[in-house]
Structure 1
Amino acid sequence: MTNAASALAPETYEAADDDGIARVHDFLAAHETTGRNAPVPRYLLAGAEPGDQVELPEEVFSVLRQVVEAMQRGLSVTISPVAQTLTTQQAAELLGVSRPTLIKFLDEGRIPFERVGSHRRITLSDLLEFRRFRREQQYAALSVLSDELDEDAPVDEVLGELKAARRAVAAQRRGGVGTR
């Protein structure tokens, strides 16, 4: 395997240097808290020689921020490269659904796709937009449900309401109306 190929392989990193991670975390948190990064945050990667530096693009900084936050919490981090165009299996795995469920979403027009021969291909940006929209819908449904629950109700009654709400959300996803 070449260096370029090994650099693109999925890799998991453990939070081993607690002091180093803490310093980076505190630095980033202080800048965000004090607003010192306004109006445009700029972060540089510096080499060993004076003047040997490059500005990190916003996307790279965002990844770095998430990695540091996870490691600060003692979590391991896996970086897994993903192509810009995905197969249906890759897209299903990214969404955490079965391939038949993804195909259903495609056939219903909920996710745009292109055909390459007999194969469907989904762009990563379209899939991430669908995932964001789907999560927003799920959170909204949970918010409505939590507003409707009576905290003093018996547990059996609350569980029944939760099951009914889940059925309603599932029916809505299928394009149906109402509950059973």
Structure 2
Amino acid sequence: MRQPIASPPPWRIRPAGPDDVDALALIGAATFLESFAGNLDGAALLVHCRNQHAAAAYAAYLAKGAQAWLVEVEPGHAPVGYALLTSPELDAARDGDIELKRIYLLSRFHGMGMAQALMDTVQQAAAHDHIRLLLGVKDDNHRALSFYRRQGFARIGDRQFNVGGLIYQDLVLACPLTLPAAS
């Protein structure tokens, strides 16, 4: 049984690059399994993680201009979360949109401000060249939906999401982007 964390360990968010694809793959698979094991078919989850969370998949995203960030904690900068910002692959996309392809944080680190700081980092980076941030989220992922609503996201459509050959329903959400005011 895991022990709850009494107080947040020292942590940081940093940009991830080509040298980080192994860390992205590891935290990507770990957070996807943690989020959906028991809700989605186990064999399909493993196929999805093997294919979509392989280091080569992250290398391909970065080679196409994607931006990624890692959330790391002490000791030793252990990865506990990440975000991936890509060109949109959603039918609802318009000119000026960008897609938050992935944003996950291991659940034992929820409630410590890390997820909010990661979302703020993503939105600030996206706002420089884009007007709207899109994402897809499983239709019954209530915790994520609540978090996204607090960030200003609203539903703009639906899509089917393939997880290891099985099809699930996602909601497509969008949030307008604005640059923070200069101080």
Is the strand fraction higher in 1 or 2? 2
Structure ranking higher on relative contact order (CA contacts 8 Å, 6+ apart): 2
Is the helix fraction higher in 1 or 2? 1
**Same fold, TM-score > 0.5, yes or no:** no
* TM-score normalised by length of structure 1: 0.25
Larger radius of gyration: 1
